[in-house]
Copies of this chain bind each other. A is one copy, B any other.
Amino acid sequence: MKVTRRYSFSASHRLHSAQLSDEQNREIFGKCNNPFGHGHNYILEVTVRGAVAPDTGIVVNLQSLDQVVRDQVLTRYDHRNLNSDVPAFATVPPTTENLTTEIRNGLRANWPPAFPPLERIRIYETDRNIFEESVS
């Protein structure tokens, strides 16, 4: 069974790659390259996959999951500027693709051994743009 829990956080970013010229940055990122940045209400879905325990009838304790997500995601990204506040985005552009990978890596590296496996994370940047990465 797959169990998914949704979280939300608000952050700002500017899409700009140090590996590209200013002109290329403007061409590729358009208004997302505006110099002072912009922001989003991101929605994060974390999915775990496991068996239902016969005595409790649950796959994972959601309070415990919340604690992991709070430590690894919300305290790091919520009400933050991704470019300035998150070390990983000092060198790579804080696209939602890279944010998805960064969150996936952070959760995977700190996943409690007692938990059922992390299956997938999905981030809604806006109602229209959705990014998803499996964990394997």
Q: Return A49 CB to nearest CB of chain B, in Å.
A: 9
Give Cα A80–Cα B12 distance, bound, in whole angstroms.
10
Number of residues in A with C-beta < 8 Å to the partner?
Answer: 61
Counting every copy of the chain, the complex holds 6
- A19 close to B (CB within 8 Å): yes
A105 / chain B contacts, CB cutoff of 8 Å:
none
A67 / chain B contacts, CB cutoff of 8 Å:
none
Q: Return A21 CB to nearest CB of chain B, in Å.
A: 11
A37 / chain B contacts, CB cutoff of 8 Å:
12, 37, 39, 81
> Do A97 and B1 touch across chains, with their CB atoms under 8 A apart?
yes
> Do A93 and B38 touch across chains, with their CB atoms under 8 A apart?
no
Q: Closest 7 A-B residue pairs measured CB to CB?
A: A39-B39, A12-B12, A36-B81, A12-B39, A57-B95, A31-B79, A36-B84
